[in-house]
Structure 1
Amino acid sequence: MRHTFSETWSGIRRNGSMTIAVIVTMWVSLTLFGAGLMVNQQVNLMKADWYDKIEVRVFLCNATTPGDNCDAGQEVTQEQKAQIEQTLRSNPEVAEVTYQSKEQAFAEFRAAYANTPTADYLTVDQMQESYSVRLKNPEEYQGVVSSVQGLKGVQNVQDLRGILDGLFEWMNLAQWGTIIAAALLLLAAALQIANTIRMAAFARRREIGIMRMVGASNWYILAPFLLETLFAAVISIVLTCVTLAAGHYFLIVQKAQVLIQGSPWIGWSHVGIAMLGVAVVGVLLSIIPTLIATRRYLRV
């Protein structure tokens, strides 16, 4: 082992500039990869929280609101309401149906706009009856919407998924952009590691030939090269974990959680998962290119 560690340290000193370049490349690429994992967890957390609160709102016709399924100047009839409610309750995707009368809608409106001039704009008669529909699976909302939006007496079907889907599309785009950029940098780091090992093996070709002739095992020859890349990987992983922790503290804890308190944010446990992923990828990134490079270039 003393010879192995001695050769490892000698290789690090000989290839100091290349080792530093490998560390910096791995640090940047692993940081982007870890950030992508954190963004992915944040998107999933927000989806789980926001989608769980989403309800499909079915607004019924009244005498003052026009609609394709409404008769001009006519209120929704009891028969139409019964059919709409039966359609909603019989749908297997529906978990709960709640009816809201005009009076309840008016009270909700006055509470929302209390102490403002807007509170006096509408009367009880102008409010709409509605059904609030909570879904078993918020992802499956289109079937519920399509089942009632064409029924007589339905003025409008409102669903916030259309707004949130656009938001999450942009978030997913940012997530995949980060992961793709990280993958390209990880590839660059892998190629740089393989090139560093190839140069180190070429510089030690005579020494390797002697070890082969005296019967040295493959592990004995490969160990110094593996330790060199593992040394660079460990430093890169530590720097990446510090960067991710600092980013979470300053951007999430100190900024985002203070500015937007109603939204769920990833915690330290999520950062720990990202760090674990970074550690696994960092170790594999150092070992696999080294094994490939030594397998090809250590033949003497």
Structure 2
Amino acid sequence: MHRLLHMLGETFTSLRRNVAMVSALILVTFISLTFVGAAALMQTQVDEMTDDFHEQLEVSVFLCTEGSPASACPAGAVTDDQREAVEQSLEEGAAAQYVDSYRYESQDQALENFLDQRGQDADSSSVEAADMPESFRILLVDPEQYEVVTELFASALGVESVADQQEILDQVFGILNGMTMVALIIAAVMIVCAVLLVSTTIRLSAFARRRETGIKRLVGASKSMIRLPFIFEGALAALIGALLACAATWVIAEFVLGQWLAQQVPGISFIDSSASWLIMPMLILIALVLAVLASWLTVRRYLRV
């Protein structure tokens, strides 16, 4: 216990002597791990949104109208028999096993929904119910099976087209995943800088204390007694930076995602600070492992004992 307290005392003394370098190390560690935390939060948010959107993913089967292109609807508008055949397939036919629920949207309902979304502007005021397609809006048991359902109805009589939201979602998630990757790349660069700064700080500290190290050798101090204070120095500075990054991660999750974005985009379920608590141990572990490893390699190479 006495040895440990002595080594910790040396560590704090060295930290006071190298305030500028230690402060830079803390700052770089803080910034790099904040990027790691932000990337982890972003990926958690993407996973949450993916689950939510997949549960609400609709497949829309649009039926032929008088204005449908001949290539898609050579027989013209959908007939009652064709409409009933599509509904029969949804209830008892080949598609029934994939369908959780469905609803029929008439031309009048389609026009009403269109006007609600677009408003009574100059472009929409000339649109009539006959211009809007009837459709079946389908929720799937397994959203991953949307391609199977699309194929089942794509060539059915009376069906003009089948659309799903997956393509739009893929684009959105592609952008979010790209932002996550950018954050990780920046974090990786900053972590490399932090490791190099740890090495430089320990080298300077070892050089400044070379006389003390020589005295310790003469009085028979063990290698661990000489080396551990330097390792503690790098680990402690990195730990402080990691704790600051944990605080920043909590702020991002609680205030940026959990409150501000949740108010700006009410239709999406955002994560909150509870997600950050799962990320914080990872940030601390990364900081300690990298700092201890960098410090140990540095003292082993540059500190002759």
TM range, normalised to the smaller chain? 0.7 to 0.9
Residues 195-249 of structure 1: CA deviation (Å, up to 9, x unaligned): 2222323444454455456554443223211221222122212222222233334
Q: Is the 8 A contact 2:253 2:275 kept in 1?
A: no
1:220 — aligned with what?
A: 225
Other-structure match for 1:122: 128
Is residue 87–residue 147 contact of structure 1 (8 Å, CA) maintained in 2?
no
Conserved in 1, the CA contact under 8 Å of 2:203 and 2:298? yes
CA contact (8 A) 2:254 2:273 kept: no
Percent identity of equivalent pairs: 30
Contact 2:58 2:139 in 1 (8 A): yes
Instruction: Answer whether contact 1:93 1:135 (CA < 8 A) is retained.
Output: no
CA contact (8 A) 2:249 2:276 kept: yes
1:172 to 177, 191, 204: 177
The reply to whether residue 57 of structure 1 matches residue 63 of structure 2 is no
Query: How far apart are the structure 2 equivalents of 1:53 and 1:80?
Result: 24
1:261 is matched with which residue? 266
Q: TM-score, normalised by structure 1?
A: 0.84
Counting only pairs closer than 5 Å after superposition, residues 19-34 of structure 1 correspond to structure 2 as 19-34=22-37
Structure 1's 152 and 213: CA in aligned 2 closer, same or farther, altered over 3 A? farther
How many Å separate the matches in 2 of 1:152 and 1:80? 9
Alignment-mate amino acid for residue 283 of structure 2 = V
Between 1:54-63 and 1:106-115, the stretch displaced more is 106-115
Which of residues 99, 105, 108 in structure 2 aligns to 1:106?
A: 108
1:90 has 2:122 as partner: no
Matches for 1:107-256 after TM superposition, within 5 Å:
107=109, 109-110=111-112, 113=115, 121-123=127-129, 128-209=133-214, 211-212=216-217, 215-256=220-261
1:4-60 deviations in whole A, cap 9, x for unaligned? 122212221232211111011111111111111111111111111112101111112
Query: Once the 2 structures are TM-superposed, how far is the Cα of residue 279 of structure 1 from its aligned partner?
Result: 1.7
Gaps of 5+ in 1: none
Higher mean C-alpha displacement, 45-54 vs 289-298? 289-298
CA distance in structure 2 between the partners assigned to 1:223 and 1:273 by the alignment: 30
Structure 1's 212 and 151: CA in aligned 2 closer, same or farther, altered over 3 A? farther
Amino acid at match of 1:106: D
SS at match of 1:157: strand
User: Using a 3 Å threshold, how does the CA distance of structure 1 residues 154 and 232 change in structure 2: closer, same or farther?
Assistant: same
Letter of the 2:173 counterpart: F
Question: For this pair of structures, how many residues does the alignment match?
Answer: 297
Measure how far apart 1:295 and its partner are.
Answer: 2.6
Output the CA distance in 2 between the equivalents of 1:213 and 1:85.
93
Query: What is the distance in 2 between the residues matched to 1:85 and 1:216?
Result: 87
The one-letter code of the counterpart of 2:280 is M
For residues 128-154 of structure 1, the C-alpha deviation after alignment (integer angstroms, 9 at most, x for no partner) is 443333234334433332343133322
Letter in 2 for 1:2: L
Q: Which moved more, 1:128-137 or 1:44-53?
A: 128-137
Aligned mates of 2:47, 2:88 — CA distance in 1: 32
SS at 1:56's partner residue? strand
1:109-144: CA deviations, max 9, x gaps?
A: 436747958699534x66544333323433443333
Query: What secondary structure does 2:45 align onto?
Result: helix
TM-score, scaled to structure 2: 0.83
SS of the residue corresponding to residue 141 of structure 1 reads helix
The C-alpha deviation readout for 1:41-91, integer Å capped at 9, x for no partner, is 111111111121011111122344335342243424626853785489535
Q: Is the 8 A contact 1:25 1:189 kept in 2?
A: yes
Q: Whole-Å Cα distance in 1 between the matches of residues 145 and 300 of structure 2?
A: 52
TM-superposed CA distance for 1:108, in Å, is: 6.0
Query: Secondary structure, in 3 states, of the residue corresponding to 1:68?
Result: coil
Structure 2: give runs of 5+ residues left out of the alignment: none
CA RMSD of aligned residues (A): 3.1
Alpha-carbon distance in 2 for matches of 1:296, 1:143: 61
Provide the rounded CA distance (Å) in 2 between the counterparts of 1:95 and 1:112.
25
